Structure 1
C-alpha cells in the first residue's frame, strides 16, 4: 500500500497554511514558513538557503527526516509525523527591525548587531525557549542538559526527548560584501546561524531509537497536537530572541543566563566531560558562565568547558 499523508490518522499532517497565518505576521521575527513531506536534514537545507541569502526568520519544517543531524555527528531518526523536526534562520550580526517593545521616543531604532562572541548563547536560548513553551503548551516539565538536550521524566527516570543543533554559515548577498558576494567578517556581518530542533512527540516505547530516549506522550503530555506545540515553540523563540537582541546579546541583562541556570538539570550534578582530543574531565557542574560555558569544579581547580559531551554521573 502506498503511504499518503493520510495513511496514519493518529499522526495527522501539519497544517502549513494555518501555521503560516499564525506565526508569519507583520513586524514579527518569522518571515517565511515551509513544510516539506520528507528531507534529509532541515538544517542542511536551510543552511543552503542561508548561503544563497535567505532572510532572517525563515522556518523549514519536515514531516520526516531521513538524515537528521545532532551534535557530534550523531543521527536523529524518528517515524514520519511523530515529532517536530524543524530549523530556523537567524542573522544576529545584522541590524534588526524596529523593536515592537521600544519606548515611544526610540520606536524607530532597530536592534544593533550582536557581537559574535555572544552567539554561543543561541543554542542555549533555543533550549530555554523550547522548554518553557513545552511546559506551558504540553504540561510537561522539561529540563535542559548542557548544552542543548531536552529532558523529560518517564517512570521516574530522566530521558532525552529532543535536541538542538546550531550551525554558523557564511552567506551571500548584500550583507556579505555586495550582491552575489560571500564573506563573513569577525563582527558577524555576512553570517547567519541555523538552529535545528528535533523533538519526539508521539513516539511509543517500541519506536524509541534507544532505551534512554523519550517522547512527550511517554512523559504524560496533556496535549500532543503538533500544530499548537510548534506555534508555541516558535513564539517562545521569537520572544527570547527579541529580548536577547534588545539587550545586545547580553545573557544576564536579557535574563537568559539566569533562566537557563534555573532549568538546567546538569548544574549541581557530578559529571564527566568528554572533551575534543580525547581528554576527560570529571567533577561537579557548578555554573554556566557569561559565555555559555559549563563550569566544572574538579579536585584541584575549576575549568570552563565550551564543547564536548557531558555525562550525568549522579545527583549532587
Structure 2
C-alpha cells in the first residue's frame, strides 16, 4: 500500500498565525485520538494540538458506540485546545457546518452530530460523526480543555449501518479524495469556526446549518418520551432541534436523544 502524504507542515503554517503554540501530529496507530489528547491534558499538557491517526483501534462515537477505522479508509482526527465559549450549546452543530462546507455541497448534517452524504433524490447515508469531550482545567480556570473528534469514511463504504443503511464514503464524491486531502480542506475552517463560536455562539451558524439540515421537513421519531413523533422544523439559535407535534413546537436539547427519519 502506498503510504499517504500528510500535509502536517502546511497545516501548521496555516494554523500557527491563529494559534502560535499549536502542534500538528500524525501517528500511524493509536487507540483513540480523543483519549490521547484528554490524557495529555490531565497530565498538564493543554497546548493546542491537531492529532491525526492513520489507524484508530478504539475510536468511539456518541453514547459509547464504537467507531471502526482502517488505514486509508478513514480520516480520524482530534483537535484539542483550551476553550471558553460564552455558551456551549450548539458547538457540535457549528463544527458540523464547518466540516460539511469544507468537503462538498452534498454533505449534509443530521442533528446533533452526524455527517451524511445525500444524493440528488434526497437519499442519504452516514458519512461520519463528531464527538466533543471536555475536561476541567486546574486552578479554577474559566475555560475547559475541549477535544473535538471527527471521524469520516474516506474509502470504500463500510458494513451496514444500524442494520438498515449502508455507510457512505468521500470517494463517492471524488475518487481522488483521500484522508490527507480531506484533512487539508477542513483543518483551517474548523479552527476558524471554533474561534467564531467562542465569541458569538451558535447564532451566526443557524442559517448555514439550515442549508445543510438533513432532517428539516421530515417526519421523525425520537426517544424523548414527551416528543415521540413529529416533523423536524430546524434548529434554534441555541442548537436545539425543533419538532412540530400535535401539541405545537417542542425543543429537544439533550445530546442523548436519537432522531431518525421515519
TM-score class, shorter: 0.7 to 0.9
Deviations 1:76-103 (A, max 9, x none): 102112121011113232xxxxxxxxxx
Paired residue for 1:149, among 114, 135, 138? 114
- For 1:29 and 1:291, the matched residues in 2 are separated by 30
Q: Using a 3 Å threshold, how does the CA distance of structure 1 residues 169 and 37 change in structure 2: closer, same or farther?
A: same
Find out whether 1:297 has 2:248 as its counterpart. Answer: no
* Mapped partners of 2:238, 2:53: distance in 1: 32
Query: Residue 38 of structure 1 aligns with which residue?
Result: 29
Structure 1 residues 124 and 41, CA gap change in structure 2 (3 angstroms): same
CA contact (8 A) 2:72 2:178 kept: no
2:136 matches 1:170: yes
**Unaligned runs of at least 5 residues, structure 1:** 1-7, 94-113, 178-182
SS at match of 2:29: coil
Q: CA RMSD in A?
A: 2.3
* One of 66, 70, 84 as aligned partner of 2:61: 70
Aligned-partner Cα distance in 2 for 1:14–1:76? 23
Out of 212, 233, 253, which is 1:306 matched to? Answer: 253
Q: In the aligned structure 1, how far is the partner of 2:114 from the partner of 2:97?
A: 10
Q: TM-score, normalised by structure 1?
A: 0.74
Aligned length: 256
8 Å CA contact retained: 1:43, 1:195? yes
Which of structures 1 and 2 has the bigger CA Rg?
A: 1
CA distance in structure 2 between the aligned counterparts of 1:31 and 1:21, rounded to whole angstroms: 7
**In structure 2, C-alpha distance between the alignment counterparts of 1:279 and 1:72, rounded to whole Å:** 21
Q: Distance in 1 between matches of 2:96 and 2:21?
A: 18
- Structure-2 separation of matches of 1:200 and 1:154: 16
**1:271 lines up with 2:220 in the alignment:** yes
Q: Distance in 2 between matches of 1:23 and 1:268?
A: 38
Distance 2:128 2:229 in 1: 25
Give CA deviations for 1:221-268 in whole Å, capped at 9, x if unaligned.
Answer: 2531322320211111122222233xx33322xx21211122111111
Whole-angstrom distance in 1 between the partners of 2:259 and 2:135: 26
Q: Distance in 1 between matches of 2:195 and 2:25?
A: 22
Contact 2:227 2:250 in 1 (8 A): no
SS at 1:38 equivalent: strand
> Which residue, 164, 189, 204 being the options, matches 1:236?
189
1:43 match: secondary structure: helix
SS at match of 1:165: strand
> What TM-score do the two structures reach when normalised by structure 2?
0.88
Residues 8 and 26, structure 2, Cα contact 8 Å, conserved in 1: no
Distance 1:35 1:86, change over 3 A: same
Q: Whole-Å Cα distance in 2 between the matches of residues 85 and 201 of structure 1?
A: 10
Residues 68 and 230 of structure 1: CA distance in aligned 2, closer, same or farther (over 3 Å): same
Cα deviation for residue 190 of structure 1 reads 4.4
SS at 1:263's partner residue?
coil
Q: Which residue of structure 2 lines up, in the alignment, with residue 194 of structure 1?
A: 147
**Is the Cα–Cα contact under 8 Å of residues 24 and 30 in structure 1 kept in the other structure?**
no
CA contact (8 A) 1:31 1:55 kept: no
